[in-house]
Amino acid sequence: MKRGRIAFVTPWFGESIPGGAEMALRGLARHLHEAGLDLEILTTCVEQFSSDWNVDYYKPGINNWDGIPVRRFPVRKRDTAAFDRVNAKLIQGLPITQSEEEIFMVEMVNSPELYAYITANEDSYALFVFIPYMFGTTYYGIKACPKKSLLIPCLHRESYAYFSKFKKLFTKVQGMIFLSEPEYLLAQEIYDLKNIKTEVIGTGIDTNIYGNAERFRKKYNIQQPFILYAGRKDVGKNVDTLLHYFEIYKRRRLNDLRLVLIGGGSIEIPASIKDSIIDLGFVPTQDKYDAYNAATVLCQPSKNESFSLVIMESWLCTRPVLVHAHCDVTKSFAIRSQGGLYFSDYWEFEGCIDFFKKNHNKANQMGSLGRRYVLENFDWPVVVERYRRYFQHFQLI
């Protein structure tokens, strides 16, 4: 494979759109470009995940982002109702037929013009890197040029991962890059990867961040101890479980503990604990870092994560984390770093919260261990060098 330009292919791309894969790609592209690699982004004209996938928010064509060309293609009009019927079954964990699997792939976000461009211009690129795994841009994009395809799947243990289409197609890519060891093990469990060069590289973190607890408490007038949740507020992130457990906790522990929520989305808050929950919505980035530093603990209740930026940010701000035991990735991070605890039911949740409230010195030590873990494993210079070594296998640099 010749040296040349690397194209990252993704369903949408923008400076401030939310999402773990989206943020990972922005950081990766920016730092690889700064390290001298020749990059381009291939994407659709859709604004972001939560937008209408039938609408071209951006104009087709090329623009520039941080010195990197972003080439956008219009989306194909889709049968949203047909897609939603299949997706509803998948969300509930119900089995689907092969024809329903086909409907899912055809009627999700897709751009035939993008796939045609890849086919017609494959000689202009050394490699196409697709992220994340479950979208039409990845499935049909890999089919357009499998011999130059790498995949950063951002894989979760979810119904989509078990599609027969993915099991067949992913044997044809040249390599897969994983954000964590548990993600790699899950992929090994589901897919036949024996002929694929796989590597756990992770993603980088901008580590030069610090929080100021007193500044946060003064600005938002929060003097009580609090659990922090930072992220999208919806059932898919298991925030409903956090709210339910917090409601029980407050009923059993008549203390002044609060739950502070940061981020977009909306979810019903039980009436009995509305006075103990502070929903700040979106806040400035530095305020988020200050909130980490002020928190007793950051709780990340999601069961489906291939990485977790908020956990890393909390550790950089020297605060411990509490994660769900059924998420292999975040549980692995907590164990490896010694920077957090994990829970699988209410009673473990209660025990962990009580521990953090009563053992301030130990909580501080766990936060510091978490910070050291991030600096040693996810600082951008470390991650960029891992990518350099990986790409050398394909004679790209």
Contact 293, 210 (CB under 8 A): yes
Instruction: Give pLDDT, residue 395.
Output: 62
- Whether 12 and 47 share a structural domain: yes
| Residue 397 included in any domain | no
Instruction: Give pLDDT, residue 32.
Output: 95
- Whether 79 and 180 share a structural domain: yes
CATH number of the domain residue 139 falls in: 3.40.50.2000
Instruction: Give pLDDT, residue 2.
Output: 41
- Whether 102 and 141 share a structural domain: yes
Contact 225, 296 (CB under 8 A): yes
Beta bridge partners of 200: 178
| Residue 299 included in any domain | yes
CA distances, 124 to each of 62, 117, 307 (Å): 16, 11, 32
- Whether 169 and 20 share a structural domain: yes
First to last CA, the chain: 11
- Whether 57 and 158 share a structural domain: yes
- Provide the domain limits for residue 357: 213-376
Peptide bond into 132 cis (omega under 30): yes
What pTM was estimated for this model as a whole?
0.79
| Residue 309 included in any domain | yes
Task: Compute the distance between CA of residue 146 and CA of residue 351 in angstroms, rounded to an integer.
Answer: 49
Per-residue pLDDT of the chain (397 residues; tens, 9 = 90+): 346 899 999 999 999 888 888 988 999 999 999 999 999 999 999 999 989 999 999 999 999 999 999 999 999 999 999 999 999 999 899 999 999 999 999 999 999 999 999 999 999 999 999 999 999 999 999 999 999 999 999 998 899 999 999 999 999 999 999 988 889 999 999 999 999 999 999 889 889 999 999 999 999 999 999 999 999 898 889 999 999 999 999 999 989 999 999 998 888 899 999 999 999 999 999 999 999 999 999 999 999 887 888 999 999 999 999 999 999 999 999 999 999 999 999 999 999 999 999 999 999 999 999 999 999 999 999 999 999 889 888 865 4
* Long-range CB contacts for residues 330-337, cutoff 8 Å, separation at least 24: 330/300, 330/302, 330/305, 331/182, 332/180, 332/181, 332/182, 333/180, 333/308, 333/373, 336/373, 337/369, 337/370, 337/372, 337/373, 337/374
- Whether 344 and 386 share a structural domain: no
Task: Compute the distance between CA of residue 349 and CA of residue 371 in angstroms, rounded to an integer.
Answer: 23
Task: Compute the distance between CA of residue 208 and CA of residue 323 in angstroms, rounded to an integer.
Answer: 24
Among 224, 216, 204, 380, which residue's Cα sits nearest to residue 284? 216
- Whether 199 and 223 share a structural domain: no
Helix (H, G, I), strand (E, B) or coil at 256: coil
| Residue 110 included in any domain | yes
- Whether 221 and 189 share a structural domain: no
- Whether 383 and 370 share a structural domain: no
- Whether 110 and 245 share a structural domain: no
Instruction: Give pLDDT, residue 42.
Output: 98
- Whether 154 and 256 share a structural domain: no
| Residue 275 included in any domain | yes
Instruction: Give pLDDT, residue 307.
Output: 83
Contact 90, 160 (CB under 8 A): yes
Strand locations in the chain (E): 5-9, 39-44, 61-65, 68-73, 125-130, 149-151, 175-178, 197-200, 226-230, 258-262, 277-281, 297-300, 321-324, 340-343
Number of domains in the chain: 2
Kindly list the strands in the beta sheet with 277-281, ordered across the sheet, starting from the edge strand earlier in the chain. 277-281, 258-262, 226-230, 297-300, 321-324, 340-343
- Whether 38 and 111 share a structural domain: yes
User: Token digits for 127?
Assistant: 């490699």
> How many of the other CB atoms lie within 10 Å of CB of 351?
12
